[in-house]
């Protein structure tokens, strides 16, 4: 299935015909000229910052003194356990990040799939519903984070709705972000809300590439709609699911703004995640060493890159 | 939709179909409410007074007032924030539209040395978390003397847009029939001529998709301007909004009014361009 192939195959695999013809075009280096502006910008803001950050992760620096003190892998060791207070804050952040990494891909692909199947089966209002469902994805940012914060306030609308429905036991007197037992779920809900639309759109695209005849054949064979969905449609959507999972794992590891702007990690570290901890080490905890921020950032990057490679392998092997 | 299979099937299954239909409509409605809930919250909050916003959690204000919007507009010096945000988002989108279609075209159509390596580097950059390079970026901005200028925010945003913009545009350019390219070559068109006269105009959907995605990202960017700028007259909207919330006594009606003012331009942009935007996203996946 062509699903996500075009997004993920590497550049060099175009047809030989194409290669023969483009050779007639200008010199061999014309392509490099086209890529030059992007590459130049990336050399400065990409390569330089990546190398700088990577080197800093092996050094100690307070941000002001002219020189770095090289410490080898000490920053990494400190974060992993050699510096107990620091390591314990990292462990809490890692646990919460893991929860987000598990819940976000599952919830987003499940809800996205259901919405896509439902949208695909209606004619009326399809365009309107698609617009409404897609709004969270394009608007997500500080403004909607604050709107959700207000909803979660002690005197906010969520508590009001729960008491109106008679679910008084679920009402949170200190607000949903003020209670360490509900805060992570409350922020996670916002992340899910913001990410469902892209999964829905990808699944909708996948559903539209499934030939009507395949679904019809299953129906003629007497399969129920649920059975058709499970045994015929879902397997055909596997590449899309893999893509959704990659995007959501990336989001789970990288999105720290939602935590910064909704809770800043609190209360009592209940919403502390690795990305936010990295940010705090770099910009908020003025007393610490900037090498720690870099080292933690690179540990996060290592997880992100390994997961991406594993995912792409699985995706390729299925095609 | 239950009528599609209707006629031939038994009454029992028709009733089940009805039931499924009703449940589906209920699910549609519930998710639609969840989707727009923050916007409803913003609108209702911005129409309430500070007293009412604390006492009436329901969306319909008892005494609706436009004073909150006017007060917020003045308290924030909204026009200044708006101009600063437009500068950041506009410059970002302009640079992105100049730089990345060229690269996407080269990766899709041309052959050149290091093509695979360069593409792999751009795609790989997608998986380096932004927060990992945030500190070096702020230090680099400082070294380049960009602190306090829009460029301190714009250049990292443009660079950060590279992976997705290049992947999307390459996929879209690859789907342009190659016969067009060959015909242009036979007519003696230069590589840049082919790009500018054929590929660029044909890829309107993909270009709009990339523009909308990045306009929204730049419009919502809070962290970079907050870290690279301490001159309030140069703050963009998100930093202004944040300042509103960090005051000692939070006036939620004003916070909601400011949030509404930030979100409305994005919603308008999306609704106007959504046909191209969604086609562009879908086209790049279908290939």
> In a mutagenesis test of the A interface, which of B109, B133, B180 is the best target, namely the one with the most A β-carbons within 10 Å?
B133
Residues of chain B with C-beta less than 8 angstroms from the C-beta of A249: none
Take residue B234 and report the two structure tokens written for it. Answer: 């140069």
Q: What percent of chain B has a predicted confidence (pLDDT) above 90? A: 48
**pLDDT of A316 higher than 80:** no
CATH number of B70-286: 1.10.3720.10
Q: What is the pLDDT of residues A141-164, one digit of tens each?
A: 999 999 999 999 998 899 999 999
Q: How far is Cα A182 from Cα A185, in angstroms, rounded to an integer?
A: 5
**pLDDT of A14 higher than 60:** no
Would you state the pLDDT for residue B38? 95
Q: What is the pLDDT of residues A223-247, one digit of tens each?
A: 777 788 888 888 888 888 888 998 8
Residue-range definition of the domain harbouring residue A217? 89-318
* CATH code for position A297: 1.10.3720.10
Q: What is the least distance, in Å, from the CA of B231 to any CA of chain A?
A: 18
Q: What is the least distance, in Å, from the CA of B210 to any CA of chain A?
A: 12
Q: What is the least distance, in Å, from the CA of B31 to any CA of chain A?
A: 8
Instruction: Yes or no: say if B40 and B60 are a contact pair by the CB < 8 Å rule.
Output: no
How many domains does chain A fold into? Answer: 1
| pLDDT (average), residues B243-259 | 86
CB contacts < 8 A (A, B): 309
Mean pLDDT of chain A: 85
A77 part of a folded domain: no
**pLDDT of B2 higher than 70:** no
Q: How far is Cα B100 from Cα B93, in angstroms, rounded to an integer?
A: 11
Region of poorest pLDDT, from A2-6, A109-113, A177-181, B66-70: A2-6
Q: Cα A237 to the chain's mean position, in Å?
A: 20
- ipTM attached to this prediction: 0.88
Inter-chain CB proximity A38 and B162 less than 8 Å:
yes
Would you state the pLDDT for residue A10? 39
| pLDDT (average), residues A219-226 | 79
**Which residue on chain A is closest to B187 by alpha carbon?**
A25
A30 part of a folded domain: no
| pLDDT (average), residues A256-268 | 92
Would you state the pLDDT for residue A287? 62
Would you state the pLDDT for residue A181? 93
H-type alpha helices, B47-109: 50-55, 67-76, 78-109
| pLDDT (average), residues B223-248 | 89
Q: What is the pLDDT of residues B149-197, one digit of tens each?
A: 999 999 999 999 999 899 889 988 888 888 888 888 888 888 888 889 8
Q: How far is Cα B174 from Cα B104, in angstroms, rounded to an integer?
A: 9
Instruction: Read off the pLDDT band of B10 (50, 70, 90).
Output: low
A285 part of a folded domain: yes
Region of poorest pLDDT, from A23-32, A117-126, B83-92: A23-32
A18 part of a folded domain: no
A213 part of a folded domain: yes
Would you state the pLDDT for residue B8? 52
Would you state the pLDDT for residue A44? 93
Q: Map tokens 């047809």 to a residue.
A: A15
**Which residue on chain A is closest to B277 by alpha carbon?**
A138
Residues of chain B with C-beta less than 8 angstroms from the C-beta of A146: 241, 245, 255-256, 259
pTM, full prediction: 0.88
Q: What is the least distance, in Å, from the CA of B86 to any CA of chain A?
A: 16
A53 part of a folded domain: no
Residues in Cβ contact with A102 at an 8 Å cutoff, skipping those fewer than 6 apart: none
Q: What is the least distance, in Å, from the CA of A10 to any CA of chain B?
A: 7
A233 part of a folded domain: yes
Would you state the pLDDT for residue B14? 73
Inter-chain CB proximity B113 and A32 less than 8 Å:
yes
Instruction: Yes or no: say if A274 and A253 are a contact pair by the CB < 8 Å rule.
Output: yes
Residues of chain A with C-beta less than 8 angstroms from the C-beta of B59: 157
Q: How far is Cα B287 from Cα B285, in angstroms, rounded to an integer?
A: 5
Would you state the pLDDT for residue A8? 38
Inter-chain CB proximity B270 and A134 less than 8 Å:
yes
Residue B274 vs residue B36, higher pLDDT: B36
Residue A7 vs residue A139, higher pLDDT: A139
Residues of chain B with C-beta less than 8 angstroms from the C-beta of A52: 136, 139-140
Shortest CB distance from A305 goes to which of B127, B136, B175? B127
Would you state the pLDDT for residue A12? 41
Would you state the pLDDT for residue A143? 94
Would you state the pLDDT for residue A81? 86
| pLDDT (average), residues B75-92 | 94
């Amino acid at each position: 299935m062509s699903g996500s192939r075009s997004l993920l195959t590497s550049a060099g695999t175009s047809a030989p015909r194409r290669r023969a013809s483009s050779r007639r075009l200008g010199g061999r280096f014309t392509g490099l000229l086209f890529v030059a502006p992007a590459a130049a910008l990336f050399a400065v803001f990409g390569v330089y910052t990546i190398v700088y950050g990577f080197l800093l992760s092996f050094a100690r620096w307070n941000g002001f003194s002219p020189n770095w003190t090289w410490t080898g892998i000490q920053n990494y060791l400190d974060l992993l356990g050699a510096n107990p207070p620091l390591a314990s804050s990292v462990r809490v952040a890692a646990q919460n990040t893991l929860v987000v990494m598990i819940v976000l891909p599952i919830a987003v692909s499940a809800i996205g799939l259901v919405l896509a199947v439902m949208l695909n089966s209606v004619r009326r209002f399809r365009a309107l519903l698609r617009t409404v469902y897609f709004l969270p994805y394009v608007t997500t940012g500080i403004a909607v984070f604050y709107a959700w914060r207000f909803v979660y306030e002690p005197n906010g609308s969520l508590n009001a709705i729960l008491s109106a429905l008679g679910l008084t036991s679920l009402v949170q007197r200190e607000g949903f972000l003020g209670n360490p037992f509900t805060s992570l779920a409350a922020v996670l809900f916002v992340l899910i809300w913001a990410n469902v639309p892209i999964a829905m759109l990808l699944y909708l695209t996948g559903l539209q590439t499934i030939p009507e005849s395949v679904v019809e054949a299953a129906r003629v064979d007497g399969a129920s709609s649920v059975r058709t969905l499970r045994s015929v449609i879902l397997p055909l959507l596997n590449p899309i699911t893999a893509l959704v999972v990659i995007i959501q794992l990336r989001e789970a590891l990288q999105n720290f703004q939602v935590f910064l702007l909704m809770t800043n990690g609190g209360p009592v570290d209940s919403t502390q995640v690795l990305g936010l901890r990295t940010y705090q080490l770099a910009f908020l905890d003025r007393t610490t060493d900037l090498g720690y921020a870099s080292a933690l950032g690179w540990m996060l990057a290592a997880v992100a890159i390994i997961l991406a490679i594993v995912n792409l392998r699985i995706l390729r092997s299925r095609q | 939709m239950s009528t599609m299979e209707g006629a031939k099937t038994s009454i029992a299954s028709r009733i089940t179909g009805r039931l499924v239909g009703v449940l589906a409509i209920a699910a549609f409605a519930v998710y639609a409410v969840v989707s727009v809930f923050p916007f409803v919250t913003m609108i209702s909050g911005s129409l309430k007074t500070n007293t009412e916003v604390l006492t009436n959690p329901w969306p319909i204000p008892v005494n609706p007032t436009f004073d909150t919007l006017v007060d917020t507009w003045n308290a924030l010096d909204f026009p200044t924030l708006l101009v600063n945000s437009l500068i950041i988002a506009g410059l970002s989108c302009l640079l992105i539209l100049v730089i990345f279609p060229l690269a996407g075209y080269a990766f899709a159509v041309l052959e050149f040395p290091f093509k695979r390596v360069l593409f792999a580097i751009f795609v790989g950059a997608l998986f380096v978390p932004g927060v990992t390079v945030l500190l070096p970026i702020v230090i680099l901005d400082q070294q380049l003397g960009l602190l306090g200028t829009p460029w301190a925010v714009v250049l990292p945003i443009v660079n950060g847009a590279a992976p997705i913009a290049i992947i999307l545009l390459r996929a879209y350019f690859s789907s342009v029939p190659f016969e067009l390219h060959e015909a242009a070559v036979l007519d003696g068109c230069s590589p840049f001529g082919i790009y500018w006269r054929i590929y660029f105009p044909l890829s309107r959907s993909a270009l709009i998709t990339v523009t909308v995605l990045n306009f929204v990202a730049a419009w919502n960017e809070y962290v970079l301007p907050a870290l690279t700028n301490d001159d309030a007259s140069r703050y963009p909207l998100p930093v202004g909004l944040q300042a509103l919330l960090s005051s000692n006594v939070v006036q939620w009606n004003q916070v909601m009014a400011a949030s509404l003012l930030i979100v409305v331009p994005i919603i308008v942009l999306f609704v106007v361009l959504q046909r191209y935007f969604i086609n562009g996203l879908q086209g790049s996946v279908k290939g």
